[in-house]
Amino acid sequence: MRSTKYYFIFSWIASFFWPFQSCAKKSQEHPNLVFIMADQWRGTALGYLDVEPVITPNLDRLAAEGVAFENAVSSYPVSSPARGMLMTGQYPVSSKVIGNCNSENAPYGVELPVEARCWSDVLKDQGYSLGYIGKWHLDAPYFPYVDTYNNRGKVAWNEWCPKERRHGFDYWIAYGTYDNHLKPMYWNRDAGRDDFYYVNQWGPEYETDRAIEYLRNKDGCREEGRPFALVVSINPPHTGYELVPEKYKTLYKDLDIEKWCQRPDIPKKGNSNGDFYRNSVKDYYACMTGVDEQIGRIVETLKQEGLWENTIVVFTSDHGDCMGMHGVIGKDIYYEEAMRIPMIVTWPARIKPRRDADSRIALADLYPTLLSLMGYKSVIPLQVETFDLSERIISGNGFQPDFQPYYRIEPARSTNGWRGLRGKRYTFAIKVENGTITETVLFDRSDDPYELKNIVTENPDLELKFKKLLRKWLDRTNDSFAMFLD
């Protein structure tokens, strides 16, 4: 009888709390999202690919647990434009972020518009808690410039993001752009423009500490019971490669760099670009290994907190890095080293692990793709121009575009610059200056994987074909560059 009595008592208690349990369960029908983006991470620099001698055990494990896209690109391989496309799902002419956000481009309105309908705005309206940690780089600096080292030269780079420009992100520990990785600076959620602070800690470690607090909901930093979306935007391995803790540098001290510099697209020793590569690549890898360790910490926290199964985790980059390859320091060019990016998507509850070398997915396609995966296909804004590839993530089949676009735009005259298409086999791009086509490139990446030979002159039929395809694409996206392709 005593056991029967307790049974009814516990049943009564359970029935009392059942409505609250049902509400909590209902609020988690949609997955959480953890979006990790490292800056300037070349697509082939992952240990499991066995292309470059970089140590990334945690990312290798993550790739084995989800879909690892090996043909992903950044369509405009520069920080602000890439981020603008990602946030808006629009190509640069529509997103308005047609160059890097700095004082030089500010007169041309180069920044994320406050009225833009970002994917974060969509999730906010669906009841998500939203957090942003790290590099933002989507606000134009204005005078008097914030007093940081990278605002004291000819061009000012860094700027505060006020609350009304954060597009739904309520938890905020971020900065515009700042490359002193060993003493980074941040604005927190309630800081004013002059209330930034410095941290004596490597940026990725500090940002991961804050991300872990967010996942554990320390001090109620997100609303309990709601699904959440957290962006962790890490600056390394961006330039400032050497600004990385020694423990990661030590891992590469015995690496025979010359052995790995036999690729024909790496200039010879003694060439300034070739020497830059040799002097930088060990630290570049050290940054990657350090970031990899932080990603492992985030994934482990998700598992410890019981969040792993129903959380979509994305790892990617805004663009790659030539680092002297092809005689180019940096990015902002059509070569694979600049355009190709890592992209790993995991969701244990729904995604079966596989490596995908075929899908032509671009960074900006993640806007509609993730919203569809999360159950919000019906509320994707009509102005989104990029492609929903959610079916390819789930099944490996379904729609994919024939080409990934390429952009490089001069903000002072937006019809100056480059437009191009990257297909399964070919990369094609055209440069226009003051209304005239001044350069055309065509690479056959199948026969010429290092893109050493421009074959456009001896292939006029291919050139004409790609011109027509590019013209069609530019017309579709209301890009006035199209007028020069007649």
Q: What's the CA dihedral at 160, 161, 164, 166 to 10 degrees?
A: -160
Structure tokens at 75: 């369509």
Residue type, 63: A
Residue 339 CA to chain centroid, in angstroms? 12
User: What band does 486 get if pLDDT is binned at 50, 70 and 90?
Assistant: confident
User: What band does 349 get if pLDDT is binned at 50, 70 and 90?
Assistant: very high
pLDDT at 75: 98
User: What band does 5 get if pLDDT is binned at 50, 70 and 90?
Assistant: very low
Residue type, 170: D
pLDDT at 367: 98
Strands ordered across the beta sheet of 404-410:
404-410, 413-422, 426-433, 436-444
> pLDDT by residue (tens digit) across 52-108?
999 999 999 999 999 999 999 999 999 999 999 999 999 999 999 999 999 999 999
Q: What are phi and psi of 198, to 5 degrees?
A: -105, 155
* Per-residue CA distances from 78 to 99, 216, 423 (Å): 8, 33, 20
pLDDT at 29: 87
Which has the closest alpha carbon to 46: 368, 365, 316, 351?
A: 316
Give the residue with greater pLDDT, 17 vs 240: 240
> pLDDT by residue (tens digit) across 296-341?
999 999 999 999 999 999 999 999 999 999 999 999 999 999 999 9
| Pairing, β 436-444 against β 426-433 | antiparallel
Which has the closest alpha carbon to 87: 140, 37, 146?
A: 37
- Decide if pLDDT at 11 tops 50: no
pLDDT at 173: 98
- Decide if pLDDT at 26 tops 90: no
> pLDDT by residue (tens digit) across 146-161?
999 999 999 999 999 9
How does the average pLDDT of the chain come out, rounded? 94
pLDDT at 89: 98
Q: Are 94 and 385 in contact (CB under 8 A)?
A: yes
pLDDT at 6: 38
> pLDDT by residue (tens digit) across 55-69?
999 999 999 999 999
pLDDT at 12: 42
> What is the 3-state secondary structure of the chain?
CHHHHHHHHHHHHHHHHHHHHHHHHHHCCCCEEEEEEECCCCCCCCHHHCCCCCCCHHHHHHHHHCEEECCCECCCCCHHHHHHHHHHCCCHHHHCCCCCCCCCCHHHCCCCCCCCCCHHHHHHHCCCEEEEEEECCCCCCCCCCCCCHHHCCCCCCCCCCCHHHCCCCCEEEEECCCCCCCCCEEEECCCCCCCCEECCCCHHHHHHHHHHHHHCCHHHCCCCCCCEEEEEEECCCCCCCCCCCHHHHHHHCCCCHHHHHCCCCCCCCCCHHHHHHHHHHHHHHHHHHHHHHHHHHHHHHHHHCCCCCCEEEEEEECCCCCCCHHHCCCCCCCCHHHHECCEEEECCCCCCCEEECCCCCEHHHHHHHHHHHCCCHHHCCCCCCCCCCHHHHHHCCCCCCCCEEEEEEECCEEEEEEEEEECCCEEEEEEEECCEEEEEEEEECCCCCCCCCCCCCCCHHHHHHHHHHHHHHHHHCCCHHHHHHC
List, in order of start, the domains of the chain with CATH numbers: 32-401 (3.40.720.10), 412-485 (3.30.1120.10)
Q: What's the CA dihedral at 266, 271, 276, 278 to 10 degrees?
A: 60
CB atoms within 10 A of CB 246: 8
Structure tokens at 317: 């980059």
- Decide if pLDDT at 15 tops 80: no
